[in-house]
Structure 1
Amino acid sequence: MKFVDEASIDVVAGNGGSGCVSFRREKFIPFGGPDGGDGGRGGSVYAVGDRNLNTLIDFRYARRHEARNGEPGRGSDQFGAAADDIVLRMPIGTIVTDLDSGQVIGELLVPGERVMLAKGGDGGFGNLHFKSSTNRAPRQKTPGWPGEQRKLKLELRVLADVGLLGMPNAGKSTLISSISNARPKVADYPFTTLHPHLGVVRVAPEKSFVVADVPGLIEGAADGAGLGHLFLRHLQRTHLLLHLVDLAPFDPEVDPVAQARAIVAELKKYDPGLHAKPRWLVLNKLDMVPVEEREARVKDFVRRLRWKGPVFQLSALTREGCDTLVRAVYTHIAAQRQPVEPDPDPRFDAPEADPRFAPPGDSA
């Protein structure tokens, strides 16, 4: 299925039904009085988060979503029926924005969470609504209120704890396939990854975190070069960035330090908030570096880059050093997460002591 993370749609809520002017006319009842009912409410448009979806491709082709109008009121005290609501299922992490005002309507972060996109119009009043002691035969009614119409922009930002960052062919796809069950395409040419991949890393029973692999960045990505700038938004929800660097590039004239600096510059140019996130340095492809040269090459790289943060050395292909990285990442992520307090169970609450059965000498 094609990965689509942006779409524009039109949502139209239903109009409310108009009220009715009617009078009760039955045999042997000379003074029936008004019996015109109110109109029904128009259908609203809602968005709901669905954990089984991971793309907005359904909204790339179905761009207009209209709810039905409410039924008008009828005589004999009959109110019009309300129209059914429309529920649009969207992936978790979708941000809904009004295109005209630029206001964010809602973010779908919890499965099953409902966000109203367009409110249906209320029904109009029939003449039964205007009956009073001084107005016994009202002939006025009101039309139904119109429903809301909006042009919306849908933007998907995947929910991940950790994001992989680096140049093309740095080994991001190989790393996520080594530490999780994700199986992205892995090949020996640049831009193998064309859309984000998510992988769940199992550290221990009931201990896991989610890693996001996005297409590689190149210099000038923030200005539109390559593919990475299209998917940098998917890293904005992460708690930690892993900056992968290829210590054994194909071209011997390529300087890994210059590439690493270019990635950091692109991050800062694209989003200062993304640049300020915690970032760890991961030196990959150590299996292609002779054992006797590894320590010297790593020290030289860190010294030239002037890196002061955590440094990890590994080989994603042979999984050497991957376990150490996974444990360290989980420790960092677990410290960032807010503990969920369990709901109190009244069955296990301590009962209040009855003063009638208190032991002698315990009375206050």
Structure 2
Amino acid sequence: MKVTYITMQFLAASETFARSDVKALERLGVDVTVHSLKGRNQIGNGSYHVTISEFLKSIYGIFSNPLLFSKLISWLIKNEWRRPSKLFAALYLVPRAFSIFSALKKSNPDVVHLFWGHYPSIVGYLVYKSNMNTKLSMFLGAYDLEMKLNFSLDLARKLEHVFTHAYCNRNRILKLCNSLCDVTVIHRGVDVDFLRSFSNKEKDPNLWVTGGRLIRDKRFDKVLLIFKEYSNKNPAARLVIAGDGPEEERLKEMSIQLGVSKSVQFSGFLPQSELFKTLSASSAFLFLSEKPGERLPNIVKEAMFFENCCYVSETPGIEELIDNNQDGIIIGNEKKFDNSVAALTPQDYLTIGRRAKNKIVSNFDVNVQMKKYIEVWDSL
């Protein structure tokens, strides 16, 4: 089977799931190519750069398909004329979309899969309107549902199949698409075999970890406040904050004001290998994000695999990942956190961590999840 993924920036921070998916598909014998709409230095198969030569080829593609070009522009305007900023962003990507479309016609894959459902839908529309003998599927995730691009939803209504990664998304997709599409829920997986190679450290009962992009919605300030209260009772406690972002300096200043700066390490962005080594050594992982588009975060799955007791905020669908008080702790506020910490014994941490790892191995192995994608594509 030949499958082509359409992404925005393959291997960018927001595309880590795509890399994991592609590697799993290749292990399963699938010939995978990736095309991204925005230029970025990349590795592996596919077309990633917007060069002058490629831009000229895309212009040639547009002039060679004037009817298809006019249909695409009319479709975009019809769906997004009320939101000029979204429309202009889509129009800017049209030449790149035609360049990808030309490459698709040459390679003629069995499946074209839109890894995101927003702007990659521009390429999807070209494939849908062409006479290519290829199956077309798309993914609609939390970010797509927050953006609610009308042309993306219009394409979803036309397709036989839409994927999403959480059951809490399914009813919303059906509502937005007027129940005109078939929606399959397949949870995003992590590379269990790869993670196993880092599972060789003894746990440090005093080490906490949190991580992600340091932005306000991720609520690392809340993590610091909780850590302050915890460290007052447990002076040996340490916290590693893995990640970088615009909030970093403010958070560092906050740690000084709270008097915990000597116990808090701002590691900056960590390569995967270093992050996994840290998670393998830690006992607790905190993820208190209030970001609207948060769904079953990958970093929480990784922390669960490494037998951390994960404290997570009540984001949509989190109960699909964590059974509260069984393989993790779902908390809504600082008081609930304090109560749960006080109620847990060291043995409870070990038990929760082991259950968490078993959950990931059983239900969130990327190789198993991508087999499900292949089964759906075969059925189309």
Which TM-score applies when normalising by structure 2?
0.26
Larger proportion of strand: 1
Larger Rg over CA atoms: 1
Q: Which has the higher helix share?
A: 2
